[in-house]
Each structure stands twice: as C-alpha cells, then as structure tokens.
Structure 1
Amino acid sequence: MKPKSQVKNKIEGKKIIECPNGTVPILRNTKEYVARAQYWEKKHFNPHTVGSHGTHYAGVKSQGDGPYHGLAAYMSVHDLNISRDQTSYASIFVGSGDNKKINFIQTGWMVNPSLFGDGRTWSFGVWKGANGTGCYNTICPGFVQVSKTDLLSAPFPYPHKGQERAVYASIVQEKDVGNWWVTDVRYDRPDVHIGYWPKELFDLIGNSVDMVGVAGAVQASPSGISPPMGNGQLPSEDENKSAHVKGVQIVHSDFTYSKKLKLEKLLDDNKCYGLKDGKKQFFKESNLFTYGGPGGNSCGI
C-alpha cells in the first residue's frame, strides 16, 4: 500500500489514452486477485438477503411497484482508512429473488485494500446470476467492456480543488435486447456507456427486476470490528459534510425515467451508522438522503 501522496502525484502526472480501435482496457487478473475477489464476492451485501454475518447497510430501495428496468443515482465518493480484512462501499443495485434463486447487479465505489491491493477508492461492478455464478468486475467471463477510456473498475481520480468527488451511475436494461448496461452519467458532456452484462447470464432478470435501490454498506473484519461507512461520519445538519445520494431516477415498466419515488429505508444498525432524509426538495436536485458512520467494535453482527 503506497502513501496517498505518492499515489496522487503519480496519477496526476499521467494522461488518459484511448485504446486503439478494436480493443478495450481490461484490468489484469492475477491469481491472487481472483482468489481475493472470490472471497469478497461471498461476503458482498445482497439486497435480498441483507442479514449476512458482519454486513451493515444504510440506504433505500423500491420494491413492489415494478417491474423495473433500472435506475440511476448520484453518490458522493470518499476516501476511508480501513484495515485489510474490511471493506466499505456505496452502490446502486437492481435484482430479483425468490426462495431458491437470487439475481442482482451492483455498481458504485469501494475501498477494499485486500481486493485491490491498496487503500484507494475504486469503482466496481458485481453480479450474481444463474446457478449461483457471478463475480466482481472482469475477473470471470460475463461483463462486456465497451468503452475505450472508462473501466468498470479503476481508481477514482482525485478531485480538483473545491470540487466534490462523486459518481453518477446508472444500470439500465436495453429495451430490445435485454442486456444490462452500466453508464457514467455526465451533466456537461455525453454519457459514457462503459459496458454491459448479457441477459443470458441471468435466469430471473432477463426481462426485468422486482427491486432497485442505492445504499452504503460495510463488511466487518472477522474480529467483529466494523469499518467506517460513507465519509466515516454520522449524518449531520450540514448535508454538505455528510455522505449523500441524490438524483435518483427509476426506469419503470414502460422504460421511462421517473423521479416520483416510493422508497423503503434500509438501516440495520443505528448505533454505528445513520440514515437521514435530505432537507430540501428532492426535485431541486438536493440530497435525497445522507448516510454513514464511524463503525467500531460494538456494531453487532
């Protein structure tokens, strides 16, 4: 793990170069990286079975008014100091489940020193499909990288002074084909379509999903100590000082985007983490909710 100052200087000195035509960037998979990813995939927050050991979460979901075909959300991005046996992340998710099967897709940001080999904040994608298959990023066959510049999983660049660090991402099903696309939503320039998960990977979400949402989540170390979530602070009266989510839009059964939301709150631990509604009107692009907390050794299991 390199000191953040060294990492920052190294990143700022590099220019983004497009891959040649006919090629895309793919993160190199070492044996160690694959093994670590398989370990963490089993512990990953699953919105359908939220009671997994050592997992805590804070967010919102919509279920029961579907079918849905995706969602988009703006998530503030933060650096966190956590140990190598912990992980902390925030993501949007889509999925369906029954008593025997679960399919879901998630994308967002993550700090996981064990998985990525450093303490930086990375973008990520994870999926669970037919017959229990699935994995992180491009570690196993599944995700199809399309963008020549934007990776599904890469370290987040450091923001310019005075700018907020954030990601505005969407997971949306392609209407005619059925594949699930992940996109970087941009305010001032064209969106970047990173790639897609083919519908053939799944046996429950080939046509739609019954749940969509966005949440922060953590996985405690085996010793029971939970890491910080969000920006490591409980939501405060000053929303700009809290980890926050806004701009949530849901893609409904007719493939139209809607900001009219019926959302259920998700919070399993109010001792170490918090979840608060934003003060301002959501339709004015203010915060939908703030979340996060310091974690610790008394957060439960």
Structure 2
Amino acid sequence: MSKGIRMALIMNLLSLLFSGVLVHSGQSTVPLKSFKIGENVTYDCIDIYMQSGLGHPLLKYHTIQMKPSVSRTKLKGPIGINKVQKQKIPCPDGTIPVWRNTKEFTTNAQVLRENHVHSLSPDSSGTHLAGVKSQNGPFRGVEAWFKMFKLDIAQDQASYGQIYIGSGPNNEDNYISAGWMINPSIFGDGRTWTYGFWKGKDGKGCYNTACSGFVQVSQTFPIVQPIDFPPGQSLWLHYLIHQDKNTGNWWLTELGSGEPNVDIGYWPKELFNLLDNGANLVGAGGVVQASPSGSSPEMGNGQFPNVNHPKDSGIFTNIEVLDSNYVQHKMNYLPTQVVLDSPKCYGLTIGKKFIFRRNPLGFYINYGGPGGNSCGV
C-alpha cells in the first residue's frame, strides 16, 4: 500500500467522523424499562434479540455473540488516576441499554453520504489531527489508556480523542474508532461523551446505535454515555478494539483497573469486506473539526504538550497492538509514524517510558493545543 493511499485511508476515516450518520428515528420495540440519568439522556432497556443493531440487512442471519472468545489481559495504568466511573444502567436480565435518540439528535445528525468526499476537499476542510499510527499490519487490535477532558467547543465544532483500526485504499475503506468526543452538532450539547463509530461495506456506517450495525451486549454499560467530571479534574478511559479469534467480529472492551473488564459490544464481521484478516492500520490521537468560519477548537486539554510535565497535557499511554497472531506488543514495536498536520495550533511528543507516581508507563504520546484562526484547511 503506497504512502498516498494510506494517507487517503486515514483522511477518509476522519471525513466520515465529521460528516454525519444514518439515523434511526426511534426504537423498534417497546422498552421493558427506561432510565433517565440526566437532561435529554434516557436509556431504554430493549430485549437483546430485538435491538435495532440487528436490523441491518447484512445481519439477517447473524447470531449474537454474548462474549469474546478470549478475555484480553489488562494493561497496568497510571497509579492514582481518576478512572472514569460510568453510570450503570440496571437493565433487567435479557435486555440491554440503548440511548433514546432525542429529536435534536435526529435533526442535527446529517445523513451519511454513500460517496463520501476526501477530507481535504472544500466539503470537509478544517479537519486537524495529532497522533501516531502504524501501517505494518495486519493487526487484530489496538489498546490504550487516555485522558478525557471538558472543553469549550462551539456548536459547529468538534473535538475527539480516539483509538482506531482500518483497512483499504482510497474511498473503498473499512474502519472502526472509539473514545471520547465533544460534538454539539451530533448531541445537541457541549458535554463529553463516549462513542464508537464504524464504516463498512458500500460506505455505510454510523455512530453508536444511531443506525443498525453495532450489537450492544453489556447489560449495564451502553456504548454511548455522557461523562460527569469532578470539578477541575480530568478522567481516564481504557479502551480496546479487538477482533475475535473465532468469529471475526470486532469487539469494544473497556478494560478494568481493579475491576472486571466490560465487553460493551461488537461490530459484526458481516458489516465489513476489508477486515476479515485483520486491519492494515492502527492509530491513536486527537482530532478536531473547525467551524465553517475557520476557527479550530481545542484539542486534548487545550494546551500544547509539555515535555517536562507529560501528565499535564492530553495523553495516550500504554498504547499497544495485537499483531496478526494476537500477540500483544507496545505500538512502537513496529515502525510508527507521527500524524501532525497543523503544528501552529497543535503539538505532539512521543515517549517510550515515563515514570508517573513511581509507575513506569509504556509507549505514550502527549498531544493537543489551543486551536485558533490560523490552523490551515
């Protein structure tokens, strides 16, 4: 795969993240129970076999996989961190929590175009990124600890922190990403949300459970949820995207730190035509989308990386990959490339080992910056 084709894959990935989604107008079944956990945030407990994710035409004969074939090991995280404590949705046995799409979500989420455009085109200008990637696949997964932040993002801007996998040349690509995002045009508010996103056959895909495709399995933790931050503090998230060894499905697992792993759910293999034998590309980092006026938002925690104080900026640490044989390695075990397109507004530093409160961290990056009006297209 040439350098140009690989870059096209990454940029197409970003283009879809910001272009929109296919939208379900509502749930397809009557919920057994519902839980309102905040303003405009209600979860319906839907029969796991009746969830809208299974309504995708490619999943007509799909059988739900209740848990991964292999339980992934947990990477040690920084000592003394504030790991995100998601709110449990106590759905009854046999049901799963599905976020009830609000009217604002349905109205504001744009329909995903079948023929999406390259993100360097005028239709998708203003996308900027800072991170690392490896294109020496095939890969079976990617994992990292990373900080989440509250940021002041305008209604027509977006800021993400994500891990991702992908395969394919030019516009014919497949990929999956997961992490946190602030995207008022999608959710109608400026809160920080966890999310997952996929793109598969024929250019189809979407966020979370906004359309059919993703299969929610966890009875208590939905794929999408707003995060409540303690005053003046950031929180850590520990995600793993991994391909099941037996079924080929792509799982999203939140790895525990002193508590059990949470296998949130998965994207069935039937959705993809280029991920059967793993992914060609894996990466981690920050992404932003500028407003049409050209003003770019904050990335990470809004500050440039400080090489003397890595913990004080946006950070992904203990970044690891699963190779073609499902063997786990630090990401820099293979050649790793820097992705940074707007050094005026955002920065990136890379470290092999950092001692944080007497705890050595694995391969890590610091990223982020204030954005502004001169970040380029």
Q: What TM-score range do you get, normalising by the shorter chain?
A: 0.7 to 0.9
Partner residue in 1 for 2:298: 228
**Contact 1:37/1:135, CA 8 A, preserved across alignment:** no
- Please, what is the CA RMSD of the aligned residues? 2.4
- Asked which structure has the greater RCO (Cα within 8 Å, sep 6+), the reply is 1
- Is 1:194 aligned to residue 246 of structure 2? no
Secondary structure of 2:142's match? strand
Alpha-carbon distance in 2 for matches of 1:91, 1:239: 18
Change (3 A) 1:264 1:154: same
Gaps of 5+ in 1: 1-5, 8-13
**Contact 2:147/2:234, CA 8 A, preserved across alignment:** yes
Alpha-carbon distance in 2 for matches of 1:100, 1:85: 25
Alpha-carbon distance in 2 for matches of 1:15, 1:285: 28
Alpha-carbon distance in 1 for matches of 2:286, 2:322: 21
Letter in 2 for 1:79: K
* 1:97-137 Cα deviation digits (max 9, x unpaired): 11340100000000112211211100011111100100111
Alpha-carbon distance in 2 for matches of 1:279, 1:272: 24
Secondary structure of 2:320's match? strand
How many angstroms does 1:148 deviate by? 1.2
Partner residue in 2 for 1:87: 158
How many angstroms does 1:35 deviate by? 4.4
How many angstroms does 1:162 deviate by? 9.1
Partner residue in 2 for 1:239: 310
Equivalent in 161, 176, 179 of residue 105 of structure 1: 176
Alpha-carbon distance in 2 for matches of 1:267, 1:252: 25
**Normalization by structure 1: what TM-score?**
0.87
145-154 vs 191-200, greater mean Cα deviation: 145-154
Alpha-carbon distance in 2 for matches of 1:253, 1:291: 28
Change (3 A) 1:162 1:285: farther
Partner residue in 2 for 1:289: 365
Alpha-carbon distance in 2 for matches of 1:228, 1:28: 29
Equivalent in 146, 154, 165 of residue 75 of structure 1: 146
Partner residue in 2 for 1:144: 215
Alpha-carbon distance in 2 for matches of 1:246, 1:56: 21
Query: What are the residue-to-residue correspondences of 1:123-202 with 2, within 5 Å?
Result: 123-159=194-230, 164-202=234-272
Change (3 A) 1:203 1:35: farther
Alpha-carbon distance in 1 for matches of 2:263, 2:219: 10
**Contact 1:239/1:278, CA 8 A, preserved across alignment:** no
Letter in 2 for 1:132: G
Secondary structure of 1:172's match? strand
How many angstroms does 1:232 deviate by? 0.5
Partner residue in 1 for 2:56: none
- Is 1:55 aligned to residue 127 of structure 2? yes
* 1:226-248 Cα deviation digits (max 9, x unpaired): 00000001111311211111011
Secondary structure of 1:214's match? strand
Larger radius of gyration between Structure 1 and Structure 2? 2
Alpha-carbon distance in 2 for matches of 1:68, 1:149: 29
Partner residue in 1 for 2:100: 28
**Contact 1:244/1:287, CA 8 A, preserved across alignment:** no
Change (3 A) 1:100 1:233: closer
**Contact 1:92/1:214, CA 8 A, preserved across alignment:** yes
**Normalization by structure 2: what TM-score?**
0.70
Letter in 1 for 2:320: Q
**Contact 1:38/1:135, CA 8 A, preserved across alignment:** no
Gaps of 5+ in 2: 1-37, 40-85
**Contact 1:200/1:206, CA 8 A, preserved across alignment:** no
Alpha-carbon distance in 1 for matches of 2:161, 2:218: 23
Letter in 2 for 1:59: G
- Is 1:38 aligned to residue 110 of structure 2? yes
- Paired residues in the alignment total 282
Equivalent in 343, 346, 354 of residue 270 of structure 1: 343
Secondary structure of 2:108's match? helix
**Contact 2:129/2:288, CA 8 A, preserved across alignment:** yes
**Contact 2:319/2:363, CA 8 A, preserved across alignment:** no
Q: Percent identical across equivalent pairs?
A: 49
Secondary structure of 2:225's match? coil
